[in-house]
Copies of this chain bind each other. A is one copy, B any other.
Amino acid sequence: MKLMQLYATMKSELQAIEDQMAQTVTSDLPILSETSQHLLKAGGKRIRPVFVLLSGKFGSYSLETLKRVAVPLELIHMATLVHDDVIDDAETRRGQLTVKTKWDNRIAMYTGDYIYAKALTVITELDKPRIHQILSGSIVQMCIGEMEQIRDFFNVDQSVRNYLRRIRRKTALLIAISCQLGAMATNAPVKLSNALYKFGYNVGMAFQITDDLLDLCGTEKAIGKPPGSDLRQGNITLPVLYALQEDGLKDRLLNEIALIKEEEVANSTAAVKLVRSSVGIKTAEKLADRYIVKALKALESLPDIPAKRNLADIARFVAKRSY
């Protein structure tokens, strides 16, 4: 089962969103159109627009209204990726050259700013102050999460709790509000939008943990960038933290991470190998599964409409992404 099969029932709506995204970022300034289109073409899982659309089914569904939520949320996500690539010094993403590689850091920074601002022009077409407040508050949290990630680079003493707080801000929150705002935009009852927020939050946590697992266990072909990228840049993820709790492994792993930090090794291969041999992988998988269980539980209170089953299917898929 591929993600796109799960999206099959929404094909035309998703195409409309894709078209609107392309139209939104089009600019008279060729360079901005080029960088933005380059990003759009690189694709992505589009999980945020999908969650917006499905959550909109719990209210008075209107594609026109939901587009004004889905397009900005995906564009904001895209803008953060461009800025992340500058920070991470990433050469490729999703198998494509990053903007900072194909152009340069300056272009990448302003492309991010531009896409972000364009996203706001779309959502401000909605006359719902509460939506704008939730969105801007979430973006603040995302920025804090990004900053925490820089702060925590190579910090091998951080707690699991610390990691979870960081990915909550960095990833889970935007996915959570994709569900919440989809419901709010279509005037679904507050009880439903709150339950959908909880669903999205838990899927988002599982999503990031799985992403971090993929970075350690995936192939370059599957993940679109060299595996071990996180460790190479000093991003200590959940499986690594668990591996560091393993007595027989701890010292060797600390040593390998120190070598990466001091740039005495060119890649993170040895460190990745150690983590893969540890219980860290299995333990992280289990935690991702637990988040999915919580996500499914959050759905229980929702009315039985097809969108509910779609959401559940996507949640189950997220924790099963192969590596």
Contacts and interface: CB of A to CB of B under 8 A. Distances in A.
Copies of this protein in the complex: 2
A41 to B, nearest CB: 20
A146 B29 contact: no
A148 interface: yes
A106 B121 contact: no
Interface stretch (A48-56, A132-140, A261-269): A132-140
A135 to B, nearest CB: 8
Interface string A123-150: 0111101001101110110111011101
B139 A120 contact: yes
A29 B31 CA distance: 35
Interface string A202-229: 0000000000000000000000000000
A32 interface: yes
Contacts of A129: 124-127
A276 interface: no
Given A87-B109, A125-B133, 14 more contacts: A31-B147, A32-B143, A32-B144, A32-B147, A83-B110, A83-B113, A105-B105, A116-B116, A117-B139, A117-B140, A117-B142, A120-B120, A121-B137, A124-B136
A144 B114 contact: yes
Interface in A95-120: 105-107, 109-110, 113-114, 116-118, 120
Interface residues of chain A: helix, strand, loop or mixed (majority): helix
Contacts of A2: none
Interface of A: 27-29, 31-32, 83, 86-87, 105-107, 109-110, 113-114, 116-118, 120-121, 124-127, 129, 132-133, 135-137, 139-140, 142-144, 146-148, 150-151
Contact of A113 (B126, B136, B146): B146
B147 A110 contact: yes
Those 6 A-B pairs whose CB atoms lie nearest each other, nearest first: A120-B136, A114-B143, A124-B132, A117-B139, A121-B136, A117-B140
B29 A147 contact: yes
A180 to B, nearest CB: 16
Contact of A86 (B106, B124, B143): B106
Given A132-B132, A139-B117, A110 B151 contact: no
B117 A143 contact: yes
Contact of A110 (B32, B117, B136, B143): B143
30 contacts: A27-B144, A28-B144, A29-B144, A29-B147, A29-B151, A32-B143, A32-B144, A83-B113, A86-B105, A87-B106, A87-B109, A106-B150, A107-B150, A110-B146, A110-B147, A113-B143, A114-B140, A114-B143, A114-B144, A114-B147, A116-B116, A117-B136, A117-B139, A117-B140, A117-B142, A120-B120, A121-B137, A124-B135, A126-B129, A127-B129
